[in-house]
Amino acid sequence: MKDDDRSITLTINLPKNMGDINTLTELCLAFTQRCLEAIIQSLDDELLKKRPKGWRCVGKRWRTISTRVGDIRIHRRLYVKATKSKKQRGRFLLDEKLNIQPQRRVTHGLLKLMVAAAARLPFREVAKMLEEAGFPAVSHTTIHKEVRHYGLLQKKELEQMRDILFLAGKETGEEGKKKRLPILFLEADGVMIKCQGAKEKKFELKMGVVYEGWEKVGAGRKLKNPRVMVGLFANGAKFWETFTAALARIYDLEDTLIIINGDGASWIQDTAKEYFPRSIVQIDRFHLARDLRLAMGKPAADRLLEILKKGKLKVFIDTLVSMEPCIPGEKMKIYKKLCNFSQKYPEHLLDYRRRIGYEYKGIRLYGMGIAETMVDKKVANRMKKRGMRWSKEGAMAMAGLLMLKGNGQIFTWLDAHTEEDIQNPVKKWRNIIKNKVTVDPESPLRAKMPVLNTGEPWVQVLREISRIPFTA
């Protein structure tokens, strides 16, 4: 046995009548609680003997910590610097040793269960469920606080990933391990969330889903390797920058044809093409059919859709425009919206398969339109229904956790983030930029400029400069 090993003896008094398995389970849980408290107390005693030079113990302070085996009470020592100064800042060596964060009551095991449940249920229901299941009583405000903390931490990581690509010019992901695919499918949609305590009544959460095609499952099929991106973004450009940075970690998109499907929003139909030049954009079939039927009724809309299905784009647009005298006044707004879209983006009206065929490089192609279902399942069920209202910070945090949940990453991500916060990325960016310095005078001419693929106004000037041919 090593010199620093210690043994702890605990006495267990077993009742004469053990009862059933449930009674024994509760007895073992109670024993585990006492055992954990005893181990922690023993560790605090050892830290007293090995305290840093110049620090003295000035007493003990109680603290309650919620774990998967129940609440435990620890009585740990407070230390201060042995100086004559009146302004002394204390420290708990035990907290530092066990990485017990200040003002954080829940241990990581219970935290994972709590946060994962909160991504599915309202905070009050999660608190009630945990208590009824025999876990320590945790208030809904504590659950809300933890969800916000980790959700905003996820948001910071996404912003850091985006800035490393678009500001520092450094591609993330391991070179050589990125997937190179002939075609990739991307869908985008937005969902309006009611705002809480702000001037705006609603704000839009933007969501994207990317997948590699379809694979057969019995008589049907399912999406191949789907991944979602959800968040509250200042504009469409920020959404596409973040989504592009996330995709760049997994895929090498240089030779990939990207099919983009979405509703008529300009942040999809206009902005997406700026970030994916080698792409085909189409309007979502569900949204197009819905708006046509709302504007002119089902029989006329179905006839127009049949014309479009045959690839007669000019006939479709001319027929749509000619129907204006037949449109009722209350339907005119949505009709005008359809006409304007058709004349502005005529090439987006056709199904992408009309442009590249029903098979592409050996891959069978099918209709798109999963984004609406994804929004309902991944976002609306948790954030929109039951009359919920959200603050912007709360919505950002929950959107981040819903994204992790949708990608099946919530537990692994929480396991990788047991620290209080992520490190300040400024030093990392400086190192990245420093490491990119090269003595090769031609290397800057070969470098990629991801920022030139953004939709920011000032980028238009940079884009033109980048096209000027270099002459020695």
Q: Counting Cβ atoms within 10 Å, is residue 27 exposed (0-12), middle (13-18) or buried (19+)?
A: middle
Supply 77's token pair: 């020592």
How many Cα neighbours within 13 Å face the side chain of 458? 1
Per-residue pLDDT of the chain (472 residues; tens, 9 = 90+): 344 555 666 666 666 666 788 888 888 888 888 888 999 999 999 999 999 998 999 999 999 999 888 899 999 999 998 776 667 788 999 999 988 888 888 888 888 899 999 999 999 999 999 989 888 889 999 999 999 999 999 999 999 999 888 887 777 767 778 999 999 999 999 988 888 876 778 889 999 999 999 999 988 899 999 999 999 998 999 999 999 999 999 999 989 999 999 999 999 998 888 899 899 999 999 999 999 999 999 999 999 999 999 999 999 999 999 999 989 999 999 999 999 999 999 999 999 999 999 999 999 999 999 888 887 777 888 888 777 889 989 999 999 999 999 899 999 998 888 765 333 333 444 454 444 434 444 444 444 555 555 555 545 555 555 555 544 4
Residue ranges of alpha helices (H) inside 253-331 are 266-269, 271-275, 285-296, 298-309, 313-322
Q: Are 246 and 161 in contact (CB under 8 A)?
A: yes
**Strand segments (E) across 51-201:** 55-67, 70-81, 183-194
Model pLDDT, residue 454: 55
Model pLDDT, residue 234: 86
Distance CA 458, CA 430 (A): 24
375 phi, psi to nearest 5 deg: -60, -45
Q: Indicate the SS3 state at residue 421.
A: coil
CA angle 207, 210, 211 (to 5 degrees): 145
Q: Are 136 and 66 in contact (CB under 8 A)?
A: yes
Q: What is the pTM of this model?
A: 0.79
Distance CA 110, CA 409 (A): 17
Q: Counting Cβ atoms within 10 Å, is residue 368 exposed (0-12), middle (13-18) or buried (19+)?
A: buried
